[in-house]
Amino acid sequence: MRESTIMKIHYGTALAAIALVAVHILMRLTQGFAESLEYESVLANYRFIPYAAMLELILILLAVHGFNGLRVILLELKQGRTYEKAVSYGCLVAMIALIAYGSRTIIMTNMGMV
Amino acid sequence: MAQVSGISDEQTSTPMSSNTILLRISRFNPEHDDSSQFMEFTVPYERWTTVLEAILDVKKRFDHSVAVRYSCRQATCGSCGMMINGKPRLACFTKISELNSNVVTVEPMNNFPIIRDLAVKFERLFNTHQKIKPYLIRDDSELESDEKEFLQSPEEVEQYIQFANCIKCGLCNSACPTMATDSSFVGPQALAQAYRYVADSRDKGKDSRLKIIDDSHGIWRCHFAGSCSQVCPKGVDPAMGIQLLRGYLLGFRS
Amino acid sequence: MTRDEHKEGIKGMINPSRYGIERFAYWLMRLTGLGLLAYFIGHIYETSNILRGQVGWNEFLELTQTTEGHAILAIVIAMCVFHTVNGIRVMLGHGGIGVGKPSRPDYPYDPASQNYRHKIGIYSAIVLAAIAMMYGLAVMFGE
């Protein structure tokens, strides 16, 4: 993939994440911070499909943005063919692993498998 | 009269007067030194004395072996770039009186391999400069055309003339935070020059240049820290050129 | 870093003292980015405790709902706000917006790209981050 395409994704995920994370934080504040973290309240959030879908989207957006940011920093710190490949693939694998792990929580909770 | 102290000495024995400074010159020869050391000289100066003149005074009176590259002495050739009190500057363009310090420390520019003492290698800068095709690209040429010149309006000249002031002194590359760690980065000098040609109405090589800089160590490794523009002695403002150039890749400009 | 290249290295890259507020913002942007990624990974792990049922969730909540936990969350809020506001500034700059127009430079060659608009953007990011952190602390410790 061309670097310009990767960076357009980087900017796009950032902008989309700002809007969705703002909603996520507002949900904590409108319910009352401590109350919103109570088990029943969190469970209700996860079981409400639009909210669960939003969490899944935030997970993907931030994982893509965060691990690409890490890739950029690591690529600038050290150079070399093997190192750069390891960084790029390493970040990709870490990103997929984090999305998979987070999705497992969202999907299982949403489907009532708790 | 200037006085010299030994390589490892921290202080000179001569007390400072209002019109002398302690000039600390980094000495390093990669062929036989493990690390650089500072040699200290007490040199007189006037309000108009430049750092280069002080170094040349040291060469003339005390140690001719101090290696320094210079030529025009008027900020035109771009030869005498060095770290002066921690910042990249042209030695011929920096007056001692402007530094507001009794101690002036000169070191070779960062991010450039050292030849000896204050002289550094410019191969990488010239290579990256060459890489972005720093010339007008078009299918026709002056020789083949009936017209003798490619005419431009003053407004069209204004688009790139600022960036044509680059003297390839390398100060921007020395100040750049990405250059500090990234050996493959194209660098602000070359990127600003890429914009200089892309913005030139006579040039038709935009696509090929954008392709060259759209690389994992190309334009995207600039994070708009702006240090390059702050040290440029000719007002080129590489940071502006780079962001305007990036505008083409992001679709803000066509 | 190799000695041959005489690169300034990480120390030079992160040194914010020599080149003004823009270089400081660059350094802070990286630091907050790394901090937020670390928090994000921790947050994904933290919330996965919901799968352990009510007991598991409450156990983990007890660990995080402490003074230290709240202080860390307040820092995360500040990092998030700074990274967002400064990120928008940088993104606009990357598109060539607010970086000035090319013109014949005049001595003393003040760079147009390092203008007040961007400086205001950086200071706003810092101030908003501080306000958000205080609000976060008020919400978390006020209850």
Q: Residue C1 above 90 pLDDT?
A: no
Q: Residue C87 above 80 pLDDT?
A: yes
Interchain proximity B216–A84, CB inside 8 Å: yes
Q: How confident is the model at residue B139 (pLDDT cuts 50, 70, 90)?
A: confident
Interchain proximity B250–A84, CB inside 8 Å: no
Number of domains in chain C: 1
Main-chain phi, psi angles of C55, to 5 degrees: -65, -50
Q: How confident is the model at residue A34 (pLDDT cuts 50, 70, 90)?
A: confident
Q: From 1.10.1060.10, 2.30.30.60, 3.40.50.12280, 1.20.1070.10, which CATH number describes the B123-250 domain?
A: 1.10.1060.10
Distance CA B181, CA C12 (A): 9
For B56-66, the pLDDT digits (tens) are 999 999 999 99
Contacts A–C by Cβ distance under 8 A: 65
Burial of C77-112, coded b for 16+ CB within 10 Å and e otherwise, reads bbbbbbbbbbbebbbbbbbbeebbebeebeeebebb
Task: Give first-to-last CA distance, chain C, whole Å.
Answer: 50
Distance CA A19, CA A26 (A): 11
- pLDDT at residue number B155: 95
For A45-97, the pLDDT digits (tens) are 999 999 999 999 999 999 999 999 999 999 999 999 999 999 999 999 999 99
- pLDDT at residue number B136: 93
- pLDDT at residue number A113: 85
- pLDDT at residue number B142: 60
Q: How confident is the model at residue C15 (pLDDT cuts 50, 70, 90)?
A: confident
Distance CA A105, CA C46 (A): 10
Answer whether B188's CB lies under 8 Å from B172's CB: yes
CB atoms closer than 10 angstroms to residue B2: 17
- pLDDT at residue number B12: 47
- pLDDT at residue number C49: 95
Q: Among B80, B241, B85, which Cα is nearest to B171's? A: B80
Cα C139 vs. chain centroid, distance in angstroms? 21
Q: How confident is the model at residue C2 (pLDDT cuts 50, 70, 90)?
A: very low
* Side chain identity at residue B95, one-letter code: K
Domain that includes residue A33, residue range? 3-110
For C29-73, the pLDDT digits (tens) are 999 999 999 999 999 999 999 999 999 999 999 988 899 999 999
Strand partners, B90: B81
- pLDDT at residue number C17: 83
The angle that helices A39-47 and C53-64 make with each other, rounded to 10 degrees, is 110
- pLDDT at residue number C79: 98
Q: Residue B144 above 70 pLDDT?
A: no
Q: Among B93, B78, B82, which Cα is nearest to B28's? A: B82
- List of E strands, chain B: 3-5, 20-27, 37-44, 81-84, 87-90, 103-107, 114-116, 119-120
The angle that helices A49-77 and A81-110 make with each other, rounded to 10 degrees, is 170
Candidates B74, B122, B155, B230, partner chain C, best to mutate (most C CBs within 10 A): B230
In chain B, domain spans: 3-120, 123-250
Q: How confident is the model at residue B252 (pLDDT cuts 50, 70, 90)?
A: confident
Measured CA to CA in angstroms, residue B180 lies from A19, B55, B233, C12, C13 at distances of 35, 26, 20, 6, 6
Q: How confident is the model at residue A33 (pLDDT cuts 50, 70, 90)?
A: confident
Domain-embedded: residue C52 = no
Interchain proximity B87–C102, CB inside 8 Å: no
* Side chain identity at residue C35, one-letter code: G
Cβ–Cβ contact C84 with A under 8 A: yes
Cβ–Cβ contact A74 with C under 8 A: no
- pLDDT at residue number B9: 46
Q: Residue B148 above 80 pLDDT?
A: no
Q: What angle do CA C14, A77, C28 make, to 5 degrees?
A: 30
Domain that includes residue C35, residue range? 20-40+67-99+111-142
- pLDDT at residue number B8: 46
Q: What is this model's ipTM?
A: 0.95
* Residue where the block lists tokens 């943005």: A65
Answer whether B175's CB lies under 8 Å from C22's CB: no
Main-chain phi, psi angles of B144, to 5 degrees: -85, -25
* Average pLDDT of span B127-150: 82
Q: From 3.30.930.10, 2.40.30.170, 3.40.50.1820, 3.10.20.30, which CATH number describes the B3-120 domain?
A: 3.10.20.30
Local structure of B201: helix, strand or coil: coil
Residue % of chain B over a pLDDT of 70:
90
Of B183, B184, B220, nearest to A3 by CB-CB distance is: B220
- pLDDT at residue number C6: 93
For B45-93, the pLDDT digits (tens) are 999 999 999 999 999 999 999 999 999 999 999 999 999 999 999 999 9
Q: Give the residue ranges of DSSP H helices in A32-48.
A: 33-36, 39-47
Pairing assessment for the beta strands B103-107 and B114-116 based on DSSP bridges? unpaired
Q: Which uninterrupted H or E stretch holds C13?
A: helix C9-14
For residue C108, whether the previous peptide bond is cis, meaning omega lies within 30 degrees of 0, is: yes
What CATH number is given to the structural domain containing A87?
A: 1.20.1300.10
All residues of chain C having their beta carbon less than 8 Å from the beta carbon of residue B34 are: none
For B8-56, the pLDDT digits (tens) are 444 443 444 469 999 999 999 999 999 999 999 999 999 999 999 999 9
- pLDDT at residue number B146: 64
Of B120, B177, B229, nearest to C13 by CB-CB distance is: B177
No. of H helices and E strands in chain B?
8, 8
- Average pLDDT of chain B is 91
Number of domains in chain A: 1
